[in-house]
A and B are shown apart, each in its own frame.
Chain A
Amino acid sequence: MPEPITKDEVAEVRETLQKFVPIKGVRQVPLEEFFTSGHRTCQGCESSVIMKLMVKAAGARTIVLGSTGCMYVANTTYYSTSWVTPWMHTQLGSAGSAAMGTAAGLKALMRKGKIKKEPINVIAFCGDGGGADMGLSAISAALTHRDYNLLILLYDNESYANTDIQVSSLSPWGACTSFSPSGKAKRIMHNRWKKNVVGMLAAGHTECKYLATGNASDAIDLMNKVRKALSIGGPTFIHTLDPCTKGWDYDPMFSHELGKLAIETGIWVQYEVENHKLRMNGISKNIAEGRTPRKPVKEYLLKQGRFNHFIDEDFAYFQKKVDEQWEQWWLPGVIPFAKETEAVKK
């Protein structure tokens, strides 16, 4: 573990942290809601469930910063905000900067005695466009500032869903979006594989103490991840996969099922990197340990209109890429390369 620069700085960071109180079952989930009525999200919107769970786990003493995207535009119509906690908009690529500025402001004011010293959670959220495209640089910077307590949550509905479902760097390979339609000359317009966000950030930010993936279909797991992220100290990061009825084209009643299916097929991997230790969670853990076989990706893809144009070779390609992620990566679903000697063996 890296040594702190000065003892004082770490003490300062610790003093303003919430204690970790795990939620051990549905009965222990707090009743209070901090993301309530007033929003205009679509029926079946999983990202709004993520918002609700995120701030429910964090509690009242929380400041939420929201970068431009669905969870800004749909949730904060003037005079009917859905946020009970203080909330502020930030620019599309600014989730990292917003979290850092808020945390730095609070830290300076508390140190100088200008405001009361107390734990105040700082959470900034961004979508896949704001996080993995435009805002990646600012998030990367924020994750290196270990003297600020903050959480950045990337809610990933796999497209710029707010602006009309345009492809982002987290849209799955081959998906039909308004910028990657399937046409007569090109069946597959979007031919880039989805970025591996948490793996990239965990590998590249060696002092970040907590990074995790999450999914609204495992709500308790997600809430505990938020609480861990807010109590461990320093900058932390969570990436959630959120089925989007409008962008993925399915019946809203299947949102949770689709999220779960993404995990069961091995397309989405549930894990956390806590104090530099990797831990697989839930179904992903069972898959990793060989207790549960992965379902074929076709089961997941066929349920969504955005893959309607897929033919057999597309399903096969998608399956091959997911198999690689589990069978050839150094750490399945996390680190996308192998040591040279091991790769040769395979």
Chain B
Amino acid sequence: MAAKAEIAGQAAKTPTDIEHEELISGSEAIAHAVSLADVDVITAYPIRPYDTVMQYVAKMIANGDFDCEFIVAESEHSQFEIVKHASAVGARVFCGSSGVGWMYAFEALTVTPALRIPMVAMVGNRALDDPGAFGVEHNDALAVRDLGWMLIWVDNAQEALDTALIAYRVAENRKVFLPCAICTDGAFLTHSQYSVKVPSKAQVDRFLPPYKRDDLLLHPDNPITIAPQVNEDWVMEIRKQNDEAMKRAKGVIAEAYREFKEVFGRDYTNSMFIEEYMTDDAEIVLLGMGTISMPARVTVRKLREQGKKIGFVRLKWLRPFPTEELRKSLARFKAVGVIDRDYSFGSPSDGGVVFNEVRAALYPLAKRPLMSGFIAGLGGREVTIENITQMVEMLEKSVQIGKAEPETHWIGVRE
């Protein structure tokens, strides 16, 4: 084998042949996963910060390390439509966007889950224009939360790579057949480097079965009509099928994490939907999604040194929403503060999206924690240790007076 490779004048092994460790960004980690998953069709359109993933993909293709159809579309709408149709004929696909680019594709994002297309997309979370801002805000990905997209926020490059593989396995499971967006905080994750274990192709092949559409395949051998006019006669039944698919997704995700541990050795089984940090004896916890976990964990450690019983809960999957897991976890605390890197103007308590969702999930509990919402870090503004300490102090005050008032606070905003 080695001799043969020598004759060909090539290295015996390309990096994907063996498991190895690399210093790479979140975007690059997802590009690795896409290549390892042998994706067939990828569409790109430039917008910061997600587009770095496509730059890595393009480089792999140019160097002959990855074989797929790579189309630079003329808009995000076409970008998502092209892969939607490629998926319908049985191709594994990858796509992505950020901010207003994601919003430009909105019509395509709407029909993708409705058509049961198991697309995997990367969202490099970015503030929506106007005014212009490159930094992270979660409103782009959150806009599709009611449509049947599975949404997961990750907080480091290793998790980004692993989650991309898990996303294909879950999305393409016939029990689910829904698209999945891997949400990565712009700059903080897309452009930050981590030491990442890149698995081997053999491991990925063991973990990820081929994508099969079977009776839903669009092919002359299976002449079906997809997405006819159903009107009020059938639309409710079809919506209900999507509802059931999303409900089944939770079990499929759990199974994927268990299998992932077997194949790759990394264990997410104790933190599949939510990840708790120093919560064992905690009285007050903060909850947030994505890279907010970094300053939050540092602050928790600092306040712990002062003897405060503080913890942090990271919400990973927003869809399907881990209602039971959150009820079980959060009912133990006196107060919970939800950090939203998003806004929802005119919403209940004028709070953020995650705050209102978590609060709604806890409503049936007999014993509920006091809940406050913190809107922070919009447009990529840094959420500092001081900001998080301030949130904890507000939560402590609410515990003292037995009431969270006001329910929503904007943190780190100039008056």
Contacts and interface: CB of A to CB of B under 8 A. Distances in A.
User: Interface residue tally of chain A, by bracket?
Assistant: 35 or more
A90 to B, nearest CB: 7
A78 B224 CA distance: 11
A76 B89 contact: no
Interface stretch (A106-114, A232-240, A272-280): A106-114
Interface stretch (B16-24, B75-83, B124-132, B402-410): B75-83
A109 B81 CA distance: 18
A78 B41 contact: no
Contacts of A165: none
B90 interface: yes
Nearest to A138: B78
B234 interface: yes
Contacts of A96: 78
A86 B81 contact: no
Contact of A89 (B40, B93, B220, B227): B227
Contacts of A250: none
A98 B93 CA distance: 14
Contact of B227 (A77, A79, A88, A111): A88
Given A104-B41, A114-B210, A84 B85 contact: no
A254 to B, nearest CB: 29
Given A76-B229, A78-B229, A93-B77, A86 B222 contact: yes
Contacts of B87: 101, 105
A137 B81 contact: no
A60 B224 CA distance: 13
Interface stretch (A61-69, A190-198, A290-298, A312-320): A61-69
Most buried by A among B68, B69, B108, B210: B69
B41 to A, nearest CB: 5
Contacts of A112: 38, 40, 67
Contacts of B89: 63, 102, 105-106, 109
A111 B222 contact: no
Contacts of B234: 78
26 contacts: A60-B220, A61-B220, A63-B220, A73-B229, A76-B225, A76-B229, A77-B229, A79-B228, A83-B225, A88-B226, A89-B226, A94-B78, A97-B85, A100-B85, A102-B218, A105-B87, A105-B88, A105-B91, A106-B91, A112-B38, A114-B210, A115-B219, A137-B74, A137-B78, A140-B74, A141-B73
Contact of A77 (B41, B83, B228): B228
Interface of B: 38, 40-41, 67-69, 71, 73-75, 77-78, 81-91, 93, 107-108, 111, 210, 218-220, 222-231, 233-234
Nearest to B227: A89
Please provide the 9 A-B residue pairs with the shortest distance between their CB atoms, ordered closest to farther: A101-B85, A105-B86, A105-B91, A89-B227, A97-B81, A101-B82, A76-B228, A81-B225, A108-B40
A85 interface: yes
Contacts, number: 146
A68 to B, nearest CB: 10
A91 B112 CA distance: 11
A97 B218 contact: no
Given A83-B223, A105-B86, 20 more contacts: A60-B220, A76-B227, A78-B228, A78-B231, A79-B228, A86-B218, A86-B219, A86-B220, A88-B85, A89-B227, A97-B85, A100-B78, A101-B82, A104-B69, A104-B86, A105-B87, A108-B86, A138-B77, A140-B74, A141-B78
A120 interface: yes
Most buried by A among B41, B73, B74, B85: B85
A72 B82 contact: no
Contacts of A77: 228-229
B83 A101 contact: yes
A34 B68 CA distance: 32
Nearest to B211: A114
A329 interface: no
B229 A108 contact: no
A145 interface: yes
Nearest to A137: B74
A169 to B, nearest CB: 19
B370 to A, nearest CB: 46
A330 interface: no
B82 A97 contact: yes
Contacts of A72: 229
Most buried by A among B78, B111, B224: B78
Nearest to A40: B229
